[in-house]
């Protein structure tokens, strides 16, 4: 066979091959796998179309003139609100769905295709496998959010034609900021959104490590989101609110206020960090013991 034996293997005193394939190569392989999957590409296309659809809707509504209110209404006068509005809307359901799908494919899906065995036999260590899979899920979360943000900025600039000449963000508080600062705020919301999605992804990955049915992961994550939404809406249970991941999911809109209030985003990021730690820990714990 025309293969190469690892140098370190040769000779009795050399260190044993206890480290598996290089981590970068594993991550590149995972990236390639995620990006070649047709559903990932379809999903990215869908996310890129969300701001476009909102922009079209706003443009049409604008022509038929009427009283506009709220976040969507604000887009009409101000294109740079569009990406932030699109991200906030998507975070409610679509983005978590995409992340749950990626996490479902990551472990449960591999198990269903009997490819998980192959990875462990290569061997990819079980801990590394979780790392590799978490990376793949994070890539999907990042790409989906970025798709919305970038297309949102472009669509926003086009929809509000006049503003394109001197683009600026009119905040909900009535003040204006320049294009640079506005883009900074869009990036801030995108980063914050990715953080929230990472928390969802970690929990989804933990579920994915338990089951071999990808659908279970999707159902659990969506069901969880709905339950969280219901619990959050019950006044008698307001003591529960600080513990629900979904509680702070409207904080992204804060980026449209001036001066920029960071409290809610910081609190929800901390909450996300907690979910991330618990989800990640459970995923590792379960994966180390999983029968494959």
Looking at 4, 65, 165, 233, which residue binds other proteins (CB under 8 A)?
Answer: 4
Cβ proximity to other proteins: between 271 and 286 the closer is 286
Give min distance, CB of 36 to other proteins, in A.
Answer: 7
Stretch that binds other proteins, among 17-25, 58-66, 244-252, 274-282 (CB under 8 A): 17-25
Residues 224 and 179 sit within 8 Å (Cβ to Cβ): no
Contact flag: residue 213 with other proteins (CB under 8 A): no
* Residue 146 three-state SS: helix
Token match 């594993």: residue? 26
CA distances from 88 to 30, 147, 248, 287 (A): 28, 14, 11, 33
168-170/176-178 β-pairing: antiparallel
Any idea what the Cα angle at residue 161 is, between residues 193 and 186, rounded to 5°?
15
CA distance 253 to 236: 26
Q: Is 122 in the site for other proteins (CB under 8 A)?
A: yes
Q: Does 98 bind other proteins (CB under 8 A)?
A: no
Q: Which stretch binds other proteins (CB under 8 A): 62-70, 123-131, 138-146, 277-285?
A: 123-131
Q: For residue 29, state whether it binds other proteins (rule: CB under 8 A).
A: yes
Residue 39: other Cβ atoms inside 10 A: 11
Nearest alpha carbon to residue 77 among 178, 9, 168, 160: 160
Q: Which is nearer to other proteins, 2 or 166 (CB)?
A: 2
Options 111-119, 136-144, 212-220, 248-256: segment touching other proteins (CB under 8 A): 111-119
> 178: helix, coil or strand?
strand
Taking the complex as a whole, how short is the minimal distance between the CB of residue 290 and other proteins, in angstroms? 9
3-state helix, strand, coil in the chain (%, to 5): 75, 0, 20
Which region, judged by CB under 8 A, interacts with other proteins, from 11-19, 92-100, 177-185, 237-245?
A: 11-19
Residue among 82, 98, 119, 194 that touches other proteins (CB under 8 A): 119
Q: How far is CA 127 from CA 20, 78, 211, in A?
A: 12, 47, 17
* 285 belongs to the binding site for other proteins (CB under 8 A): no
Residues 36-65 vs other proteins: string with x where CB under 8 A? xxx---------------------------
Q: Which is nearer to other proteins, 3 or 64 (CB)?
A: 3
Contacting residues toward other proteins, per CB under 8 A = 1-6, 9-12, 16-22, 25-26, 28-29, 32-33, 36-38, 113-125, 289, 291-292
């Amino acid at each position: 066979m025309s293969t190469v034996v690892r140098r370190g293997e040769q000779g009795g005193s050399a260190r044993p091959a206890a480290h598996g394939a290089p981590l970068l190569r594993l991550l590149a392989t995972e990236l390639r796998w995620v990006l070649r999957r047709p559903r990932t590409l379809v999903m990215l296309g869908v996310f890129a179309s969300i701001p476009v659809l909102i922009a079209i809707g706003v443009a049409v509504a604008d022509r038929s003139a009427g009283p506009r209110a709220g976040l969507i209404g604000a887009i009409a006068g101000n294109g740079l609100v569009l990406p932030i509005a699109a991200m906030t809307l998507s975070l409610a359901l679509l983005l978590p769905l995409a992340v749950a799908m990626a996490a479902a494919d990551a472990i449960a899906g591999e198990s269903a295709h009997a490819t998980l065995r192959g990875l462990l036999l290569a061997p990819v260590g079980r801990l590394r496998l979780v790392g590799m899979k978490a990376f793949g899920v994070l890539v999907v979360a990042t790409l989906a959010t970025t798709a919305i943000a970038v297309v949102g900025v472009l669509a926003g600039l086009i929809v509000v034609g006049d503003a394109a000449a001197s683009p600026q963000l009119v905040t909900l508080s009535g003040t204006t900021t320049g294009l640079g600062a506005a883009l900074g705020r869009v990036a801030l919301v995108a980063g914050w959104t990715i953080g929230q999605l990472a928390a969802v992804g970690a929990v989804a990955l933990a579920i994915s490590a338990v089951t071999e049915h990808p659908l279970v992961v999707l159902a659990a994550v969506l069901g969880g989101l709905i339950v969280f939404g219901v619990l959050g809406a019950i006044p008698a249970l307001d003591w529960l609110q600080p513990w629900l991941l979904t509680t702070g999911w409207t904080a992204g809109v804060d980026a449209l206020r001036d001066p920029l209030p960071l409290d809610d985003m910081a609190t929800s990021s901390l909450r996300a960090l907690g979910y991330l730690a618990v989800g990640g820990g459970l995923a590792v714990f379960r994966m180390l013991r999983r029968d494959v």
